[in-house]
Structure 1
Amino acid sequence: MFRDRQQAAERLADALAPLRGTHPLVLAIPRGAVPIGAVLAQRLAGDLDLVLVRKLHAPGSPEFAVGAVDEAGWTYVAPHAAAVGATAAYLEEQKEDQLQELARRRQLYTPGRGPADAAGRVVIVVDDGLATGATMVAALHAVRERGPARLVCAVPVASPDAVRLVGKYCDEVVCLAAPAGFAAVGQFYASFPQLEDDEVIALLAAARPSPPSAP
């Protein structure tokens, strides 16, 4: 469906074109969504930053989410968590592990500062795709707490169930495709490499406005 994240981002930017002129704050979920967020911020004349959340994975299945946690420790637990063996003790252990990773990423990606101010702004939260939607739920909840004027979830592709779920946590969902038979996000990209921390840092640096030159 998409050649790569760049093509997905360009198509998503076209769908979000009505928001150009609102100076939106584009918040990408690291790592995979950051290249998409960079394109959206550039095309929509907005600002790029991150929203840091982490998936809580199912026992023995690191790719399957049973919930997610944000930086403040707020946790979303999916209805299917118990059915796949995610006990309360297991989820608490997962939460603590992921909070440590979130703290590491905050220090690495945005040293010396916290999240961007979302109060009163049009905010677009972007990921490269949604399987269960758990991570996006945590991201939208975290951003809603910061008082945006409008909160938009934007993804190139998602499972139909994920679209229905995340719609409860935002004002609008912009999703290019929600095909039946969804199995994994990667199946909808011809090229879907994992990103590294240094790539995230470089994209954030490139999107940062240049300081004014001295007179």
Structure 2
Amino acid sequence: MFIDREEAGWKLVERLRNERLEKPLVLAIPRGGLEVGAVLARGLGAELDVVLARKLRAPHQPELALGAVSETGEVYLNHFASAMTDVGDAFIARERERQLSEIARRRAIYRAVRPRATIAGRTVIVTDDGIATGATMIAALHVVRAAGAREVIVAVPVGAPDRIDALRPLADRIVCLQEPAWFWAIGQFYRDFAQVSDERAVELLRDYGLPATKWERGAAVAAH
């Protein structure tokens, strides 16, 4: 159980801080992933940016991810999507367009404070606050690979074991702090899992290089 995303990010820093990472870039999946990613970037001395992907929502069950669409428009569908009788190509196409519209809206907000980072030739750490179906992470990893990253590391606080396994072909390495056998939702592993607003996301992108957070200060005191 993590207190919040910030603490989870710091625990990831502790796992990665002694590794030699060449020109590291942390790419966070907004919005919750930015609270993890900002701490990760600060703690590792890395650049921070976002990689945009949105889940494709099932009809009548918006919390269920049929799959995801990336910022480049590529669609990934979960294995069960084809078995749903009320999900056809027309529905997927409409949902894809809805989510691409939201991606465009967020891109405009985020790029106003942080230009797109260079991915090619770099060690890229892709992070989120957890992996449930893995759909958005898979979509994001395809973007990162296509952009020419030298090394791709997935770093997340918690994930469903079978979904973590599904990511392995797409990443050079995966760092996942917890892989509980009983996994229902990411929020069950956080005491504070408040929704992250656009305003908070912009603040994190703009200010991640500012002085240490409470978790970083606490860890520094403990180390001495």
The separation in 2 between residues aligned to 1:74 and 1:106, in whole angstroms, is: 16
Query: Which amino acid counterpart does residue 178 of structure 2 have in structure 1?
Result: A
Aligned ranges 1:1-215 → 2 under 5 Å: 1-19=1-19, 21-84=21-84, 85-111=86-112, 115-207=116-208
Q: Residue 18 of structure 1: SS of its match in structure 2?
A: coil
TM-score where L is the length of structure 2: 0.89
Count of residues in correspondence between the two structures: 209
CA RMSD in angstroms comes to 1.6
Q: Residue 68 of structure 1: SS of its match in structure 2?
A: strand
Do 2:27 and 2:48's aligned partners in 1 also have CA atoms closer than 8 Å?
yes
The separation in 2 between residues aligned to 1:18 and 1:60, in whole angstroms, is: 46
The separation in 1 between residues aligned to 2:42 and 2:182, in whole angstroms, is: 33
**Unmatched 5+ stretches in structure 2:** 211-224
The separation in 1 between residues aligned to 2:148 and 2:157, in whole angstroms, is: 25
The separation in 1 between residues aligned to 2:101 and 2:153, in whole angstroms, is: 28
Compute the displacement of 1:83 (Å).
Answer: 2.2
Query: Which amino acid counterpart does residue 183 of structure 1 have in structure 2?
Result: W
Q: Residue 79 of structure 2: SS of its match in structure 1?
A: coil
Do 1:20 and 1:44's aligned partners in 2 also have CA atoms closer than 8 Å?
no
Compute the displacement of 1:107 (Å).
Answer: 0.5
Q: Residue 176 of structure 2: SS of its match in structure 1?
A: strand
Calculate percent identity across the aligned residue pairs.
48
Do 1:23 and 1:45's aligned partners in 2 also have CA atoms closer than 8 Å?
no
The separation in 1 between residues aligned to 2:115 and 2:95, in whole angstroms, is: 23
| Cα displacement string for residues 156-215 of structure 1 (whole angstroms, at most 9, x for unaligned residues) | 000011101111211111100111110000000011000100101111111369xxxxxx
TM-score where L is the length of structure 1: 0.92
Segments ≥4 residues shifted beyond 6 Å: none
Q: CA 1:112/1:128 → structure 2, altered by over 3 Å: closer, same or farther?
A: closer
The separation in 1 between residues aligned to 2:103 and 2:23, in whole angstroms, is: 27
Do 2:66 and 2:80's aligned partners in 1 also have CA atoms closer than 8 Å?
yes
Do 1:25 and 1:124's aligned partners in 2 also have CA atoms closer than 8 Å?
yes
Compute the displacement of 1:71 (Å).
Answer: 1.2
**Residue of structure 2 in register with 1:213 after alignment:** none
